[in-house]
Amino acid sequence: MPAATLDVVAIGNAIVDVLARSDDAFLAQHALTKGGMQLIDAAMAETLYADMPQAKEISGGSAANTLAGLAALGKKCGFIGQVNDDQLGAVFAHDVHALGIRFDTPVMHGEVPTARCLILVTPDAQRTMNTFLGASQFLPEAAVDFDLIRSAKILYLEGYLWDPEQPRAAMRAAIDAARGAGRKVAFTLSDNFVIDRHRADFIDLIDNGQIDILFSNEGEIQSLAQIDDFEKALARFADKVPVLVSTRSEKGAVAIVDGVRHQAPAAPVGQIVDTTGAGDLFAAGFLAAHIDGRSVEDALALGAAAAAEVISHWGARPEADLGVIRDALFA
């Protein structure tokens, strides 16, 4: 196959985040599970948005956030995701293009608006996400640029998007295209609710050797394994995924690469402001170091540093220069 021209192409939800400060009473009033993520319909999206305190709009989406981090670290990236031909869709496309990320997926026309995630951040920096998937959940296989996928070293898939039927079929086809081109496939489990609905699918992908790099957090890997013990859950998949990565918040992160365990502490943070995007940016740092051929310890350290940067401010996209952070880390 020809040499790759891009580092990472990701398929994910094309979402605009709407962030507001909140308190526990507001969460209780709307029967929201603190720290979790739930899918909501258009009616609830309108009701919740109307009741939210003053908010800030920032382009988001888990995989897109990871690409933002990768682009900030100098990687060449492409994104596949669907927006509507509306105002938020234009905002999302502008933000992705401004990062130097290739984004050519045809827009959706009609009444289904661009996806948005209503995020409530409590004083303890926990984020409660309420996601209306909108146009992103109707991404069809026909909209996927398979040549773009074949051109990248790594195909990165967002677990959240496995839920709707059309994007799930599109991602299955994308896996086939990437593997057929000899490229690596990275997958992030995203959330326990996704795992609960699609555990059999995810385990099947792992058992059949279709995932080269698996990202999770402590709760997600335990949920996938259905084992309430972190070490035993890791062991369940350690010999089935070449690179298995799991974050553990303040306890740092663990990676098992070709059967060898590595771990690193969390990076120091002056003040935790908003944990939105921590896992997304960890994946960005880890993948950037991995692509550069650095050690697993370096990959974990850069992942931790990128996560620490993003949780020190509002929003899930980096604000500080990640390249400067990387250079200081590896000096």
Would you tell me the crossing angle of helices 87-98 and 62-72 to the nearest 10 degrees?
30
Reading the block at residue 320, the tokens are: 């500080």
Query: Mean pLDDT throughout 202-220?
Result: 97
Condensed to tens digits (0 to 9), the pLDDT of residues 84-143 reads: 999 889 999 999 999 999 999 999 999 899 999 999 999 998 889 898 999 999 999 999
Give backbone dihedrals phi and psi of 167, rounded to 5 degrees, phi first: -65, -30
First to last CA, the chain: 35
Measured in residues, the chain has a length of 331
Condensed to tens digits (0 to 9), the pLDDT of residues 160-190 reads: 999 899 999 999 999 999 999 999 999 999 9
Task: Give the per-residue pLDDT at 105.
Answer: 98
Parallel/antiparallel/unpaired status of strands 253-257 and 243-247: antiparallel
CB atoms within 10 A of CB 2: 7
- Taking the CA atoms of residue 232, residue 234, residue 237 and residue 241 in that order, the dihedral angle to the nearest 10 degrees is -160
- Gyration radius from the chain CA atoms: 18
Task: Give the per-residue pLDDT at 320.
Answer: 95
Task: Give the per-residue pLDDT at 229.
Answer: 97
Task: Give the per-residue pLDDT at 127.
Answer: 85
Q: In whole angstroms, how far apart are CA 23 and each of 200, 249, 323?
A: 37, 22, 35
Please name the fold of domain 6-14+61-111+136-330: UDP-N-acetylmuramoyl-L-alanine:D-glutamate ligase (3.40.1190)
Residue-range domain boundaries for the chain: 6-14+61-111+136-330
- Predicted confidence band at 51 (pLDDT cuts at 50, 70, 90)? very high
Q: Does 1 have pLDDT greater than 80?
A: no
Q: Does 30 have pLDDT greater than 80?
A: yes
Task: Give the per-residue pLDDT at 58.
Answer: 84
Determine the Cα–Cα distance for residues 13 and 211; give it in Å rounded to an integer: 20
Task: Count CA within 13 A, CB hemisphere, residue 262.
Answer: 16
- What's the pTM value of the predicted model, to 2 decimals? 0.92
- Predicted confidence band at 316 (pLDDT cuts at 50, 70, 90)? confident
Determine the Cα–Cα distance for residues 325 and 100; give it in Å rounded to an integer: 20
Q: Does 19 have pLDDT greater than 90?
A: no
Determine the Cα–Cα distance for residues 205 and 213; give it in Å rounded to an integer: 12
The closest alpha carbon to 118, from 188, 37, 64, 34, belongs to 37
According to the 3-state scheme, what is the secondary structure of 265-278? CCCCCCCCCCCCCH
Query: Mean pLDDT throughout 225-251?
Result: 96
